[in-house]
Amino acid sequence: MARFSKMEVIAAMASTGMVPVFYNKDVEVAKNVVKACYAGGVRAFEFTNRGEFAHEVFGELVKFAARECSEMVMGVGSIVDPATAALYLQLGANFVVGPLFNPEISRICNRRLVPYTPGCGSVSEVGFAQESGCDVCKVFPGDVLGANFVKGLKAPMPWSNLMVTGGVKPEEANLKAWFDAGVTCVGMGSNLFPADVIAARDWGAITRLCADSLTIIAQVKKK
């Protein structure tokens, strides 16, 4: 069961403006990353379904977050089929993200009142996703579509809540471009979790990267 309501999940995404995107097969590494992000101010975290037994790691992370990071909204990413979505919902996913839009996943998530954020690469895909009940759509791949795509889409569809993933960097110029274009939040992966930092188990560096990114986002959203 999800610990947070649909409205609470969307509020966490919008208020912080950033959703870290991370995967590691080592549950202890994943726990430390979640805790480091939480210490940096993150309140919505996407663990991606990208490895063997990823669901087992996620199940442990959900229980860990409930104990150690009580306000952290744990969600799952890289979901492309309804069966996998159902598996993660049973493990406590509070939101489901995918690289593509699958209306059958919408049906499963809507039944449980859990947000589904599908990857969309065109205005029509965003429209179809919204029709199926998706409150937040993912602009993906962001580095291919660019900030002008977001700006162009928001002009005729200003009600759209968009999360961009791909090509997002913890830098003021990059983040300002996305938020000026009109995104609700950004999903940030490898640029927030440098391989050398993870290998060195430098959790403090992760906390600083998250805190710095959230500070930049708060500043650019005010302008």
- Sequence ranges of the domains in the chain: 6-222
CB-based contacts of 163, cutoff 8 Å, min separation 6: 13, 19, 117, 136, 137, 138, 139, 183, 184, 185, 186, 187
Asked whether the beta carbons of 81 and 61 are under 8 A apart, the reply is no
Whole-prediction pTM: 0.97
Residue with tokens 């992000």: 37
CA dist., res. 88 & res. 54, Å (int) = 10
Give the closest residue to 63 by CA, choosing from 30, 37, 14, 101.
30
pLDDT of 223 reads 73
Please state, as a whole number, how many other Cβ atoms lie within 10 Å of the Cβ of residue 150.
22
**Fold category of 6-222 in CATH:** TIM Barrel (3.20.20)
Most distant CA pair in the chain: distance in Å? 47
Q: Return per-residue pLDDT of the chain as tens, 223 residues.
A: 899 999 999 999 999 999 999 999 999 999 999 999 999 999 999 999 999 999 999 999 999 999 999 999 999 999 999 999 999 999 999 999 999 999 999 999 999 999 999 999 999 999 999 999 999 999 999 999 999 999 999 999 999 999 999 999 999 999 999 999 999 999 999 999 999 999 999 999 999 999 999 999 999 998 7
**For 74-140, what is the HEC assignment?**
EEEECCCCHHHHHHHHHCCCCCEECCCCCHHHHHHHHHCCCCEECEECCHHHHHHHHHCCCCEEEEC
- Give the tokens for residue 178: 């996305």
d(CA 156, CA 159): 9
